[in-house]
């Protein structure tokens, strides 16, 4: 009996959002399953790779581009965004001003990156992450209004949103699976 041939996909995924929202922490949790309370701001861009056996026939290599929050004010994002197939935009649920950054990051993505031609050249799928949700449980910040978030995503062209915690390791796998599924279904 012959097995079906294995297909391998390489997906470049951007992780953007304002300073200190937890982009690096989410990636370190997702890729290495570690968390630290030490804050060392990313300079420029960092990379991480996660290899996923998506299905018996499909291997997905996720190349995660961890872009410094500071870069929203720089002029390198166009270079970093090149050939990306998806993105996460991260905000910090305890700091409302980082939610204002979400729309700015989304506009930056929409104006600078598109799907490659075989996939029609439309917008790349973007998932919104409401991070540090563990702190909400401790009474910091305003609770998330689910309907308002659904509405915000529809109006601003986000594929979906998840409340995540890099500290508690909650919902990060789910959010990644959702984004990968969206990209795989474009194939």
Contact between 21 and Mg ion (CB under 5 A)?
A: no
39 versus 119: smaller Cβ distance to Mg ion:
39
34 versus 49: smaller Cβ distance to ligand GTP:
34
For residue 184, the minimal CB distance to ligand GTP (Å) is 27
Question: If contact means CB under 5 to 8 A according to the sort of partner, which of Mg ion, ligand GTP, none does residue 39 touch?
Answer: ligand GTP
The rounded Cα 44 to chain-centroid distance in angstroms is 17
Phi, psi of 89, deg, nearest 5: -110, 125
Phi, psi of 52, deg, nearest 5: -125, 125
Contact between 131 and Mg ion (CB under 5 A)?
A: no
CA distance 64 to 49: 6
Instruction: Report H helices in the chain.
Output: 23-32, 77-81, 96-112, 133-137, 146-156, 172-184
Count each helix (H run) and each strand (E run) in the chain, helices first: 6, 6
42 versus 77: smaller Cβ distance to ligand GTP:
42
Neighbouring residues of 85: CB distance < 8 A, sequence distance ≥ 6: 11, 12, 13, 115, 116, 124, 125, 183, 186
Residues that bind ligand GTP (CB under 6 A): 17, 19-25, 36-37, 39, 41-42, 68-69, 131-132, 134-135, 165-167
Site for Mg ion in 26-85 (CB under 5 A): 42
Question: If contact means CB under 5 to 8 A according to the sort of partner, which of ligand GTP, Mg ion, none does residue 165 touch?
Answer: ligand GTP
Question: If contact means CB under 5 to 8 A according to the sort of partner, which of ligand GTP, Mg ion, none does residue 119 touch?
Answer: none
Please identify, among the stretches 24-32, 79-87, 112-120, 179-187, the one whose residues bind Mg ion according to the rule CB under 5 A.
24-32
The kind and range of the H/E element at 19 are none
For residue 83, the minimal CB distance to ligand GTP (Å) is 22
Neighbouring residues of 68: CB distance < 8 A, sequence distance ≥ 6: 19, 41, 42, 43, 44, 45
For residue 15, the minimal CB distance to ligand GTP (Å) is 8
């Amino acid at each position: 009996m012959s097995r079906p041939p294995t297909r391998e996909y390489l997906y470049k995924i951007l992780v953007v959002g304002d300073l200190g929202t937890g982009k690096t922490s989410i990636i370190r949790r997702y890729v290495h399953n570690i968390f630290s309370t030490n804050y060392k701001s990313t300079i420029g861009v960092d990379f991480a790779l996660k290899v996923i056996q998506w299905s018996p026939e499909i291997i997905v290599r996720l190349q995660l581009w961890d872009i410094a929050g500071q870069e929203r004010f720089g002029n390198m994002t166009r270079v970093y965004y090149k050939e990306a197939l998806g993105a996460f935009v991260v905000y910090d649920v305890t700091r409302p001003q980082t939610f204002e950054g979400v729309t700015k990051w989304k506009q930056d993505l929409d104006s600078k990156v598109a799907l490659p031609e075989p996939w029609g050249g439309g917008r790349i799928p973007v998932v919104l992450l409401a991070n540090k949700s563990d702190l909400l449980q401790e009474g910091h910040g305003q609770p998330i209004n689910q309907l308002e978030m659904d509405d915000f995503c529809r109006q601003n062209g986000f594929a979906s949103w998840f409340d995540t915690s890099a500290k508690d390791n909650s919902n990060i796998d789910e959010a990644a699976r959702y984004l990968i599924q969206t990209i795989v279904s474009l194939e």
